[in-house]
Structure 1
């Protein structure tokens, strides 16, 4: 297109979804045409997020984000508009905490993921949250303690990126309905809950 006109974004949303579904996941998510003023729902399956930031601010109408089987090598993910976030069967890079900033979130579902639990930023509108940490969770005390083992080498008890509070605490404190589940009895939710 010599004029630089973006005709893809002008497509009706259902047709845009069909076109994007034909692209390999990697190409679809990072294609500039995904930036849409009208996109309200996005489901990512099997996507590897390797950019430093998954920034959805260029999709101001995005309300519902579902992630399934994704590899999260990014450092953070943010959106001022998303109201419903579901993350299932995703793996989180273990050398750092993944940061999630969704200030308008109403519902949060985090289930059957592996790696380190992400750090949640404040979510003042959060109504319901379900967090299930499974056997793949790396936030388990290496020494078998249920709380602080006082071992400086234990990443689960010590390594909160310089913070002493729970990684979920700030984001979940406003929830009116909260389910915290751990498949392993030694999984650490926090010393601060």
Structure 2
């Protein structure tokens, strides 16, 4: 065999050993793989080979992430890329659409095409949609009626603003809604189909309190809601809920534990229109697992809402696990005892106290204390608190007096005061 023939054979064998197996995959599978990439990277695959030239046009995802926005020198450049991307791709159905707009100092240009991009995605039957608009001061105003789709199952809205009711009744498949760091000026948030709702860091700024109606909800998170605490309508299927009130402005200026101080100048009692139609705890009464956390320290002791609701406390007929923090420690322990009296099947109580409770001065409490005694023999209690906090020790003594076996109390001392 000649040297030329042997060299040619070796070349063919080497080529066979380095065959492009990825390109041998069917187009739909390749497009699914590309859907996990940021959209600019998916588009760049068009230069790999002739086979890849148009694959990106049918990728079932649009991913304009924060990392993508960071690579552009301004909103005009980013907007130009996204507009060309939507114009050139085919109109195949989308599984995911994610749009992140960054603050470059020109807010008008930053949000100029956001509504257009959202409408395009919804027209492509997108299942999961995320819209975020980063700006230090402004929020993107969500157009009324923009979010309408029979195919949308998951929606995430970050750093947006709504000045109209958020009615998702037309989104019949919507199951997950997440809202973060947004400004909500609306009377109602409605979704008959919603299963999971997460609202965190949002400001509720309307003239009246926002009413949340989600009768099929099974999981709820309300965390760090600012200004006016929203109200919850009946949620009979709710299984787990966590409510953290840290920066709301619901407070009695005269220090009355549950409000109604009689002072006409007290905004918290006279002008907050809280609970005239429903209350927070009523909407949570079907929970199996519940966490209620609030701030008790000045300048905004947000325990006001929880304690006010307890004056007409509903029965938590399914509640198995309950976590409470400092807000349940009142002068006469009425808040805690009231809650336990209305939780007949409670199995586990977790008390997490982050400060000492020495001088309790709350006034005006009138809780709905039922006559029948507590039955705590099947209850286990876990408590974390400052070692030596006499008020917490008093709580444990009271619980034991109601029949709680001491061996079912687990005490932890994770927090120790520093002596100066």
TM-score with structure 2 setting the length = 0.39
Aligned residues: 181
Q: CA deviation at 1:147?
A: 1.6
SS in 1 for 2:224: strand
Matched, 1:168 2:250: no
Matched, 1:44 2:170: no
Matched, 1:87 2:207: no
2:170 and 2:225 mapped to 1: Cα distance? 27
Match of 1:141 among 252, 259, 266: 252
Matched, 1:35 2:113: no
Q: Deviations over 1:3-59 (max 9, x none)?
A: xxxxx9972232xx14x55794962453866422111110000110111x1100111
2:238 and 2:187 mapped to 1: Cα distance? 22
Higher strand share: 1
Matched, 1:12 2:94: yes
Relative distance call for 1:166 and 1:37 in structure 2 (3 A) is: closer
Q: Would the aligned equivalents of 1:57 and 1:80 in 2 still touch at CA under 8 Å?
A: yes
Q: CA deviation at 1:172?
A: 0.8
Match of 1:117 among 211, 229, 233: 229
Higher relative contact order (CA 8 A, sep 6+): 1
1:4 equivalent in structure 2: none
Q: Would the aligned equivalents of 1:72 and 1:92 in 2 still touch at CA under 8 Å?
A: yes
1:26 and 1:72 mapped to 2: Cα distance? 19
1:3 equivalent in structure 2: none
Q: Would the aligned equivalents of 2:250 and 2:272 in 1 still touch at CA under 8 Å?
A: no
Relative distance call for 1:147 and 1:97 in structure 2 (3 A) is: same
Match of 1:177 among 289, 292, 299: 289
SS in 2 for 1:30: coil
Higher helix share: 2
Q: Would the aligned equivalents of 2:184 and 2:206 in 1 still touch at CA under 8 Å?
A: no
After TM superposition, the structure 1 = structure 2 runs for residues 47-126 of structure 1, keeping only pairs within 5 Å, are 47-51=160-164, 53-93=165-205, 95-126=207-238
- Give me the CA root mean square deviation: 2.7
1:11 and 1:86 mapped to 2: Cα distance? 27
Q: Deviations over 1:44-84 (max 9, x none)?
A: 00110111x11001111100000001100111110000110
Q: Deviations over 1:83-137 (max 9, x none)?
A: 1000000001153211110100101100112111011100000111111100x21
Consecutive unaligned residues of structure 2, counting only runs of 5 or more, are 1-89, 102-109, 119-141, 314-420
Highest CA radius of gyration, 1 or 2? 2
2:175 and 2:143 mapped to 1: Cα distance? 19
Q: Would the aligned equivalents of 2:181 and 2:201 in 1 still touch at CA under 8 Å?
A: yes
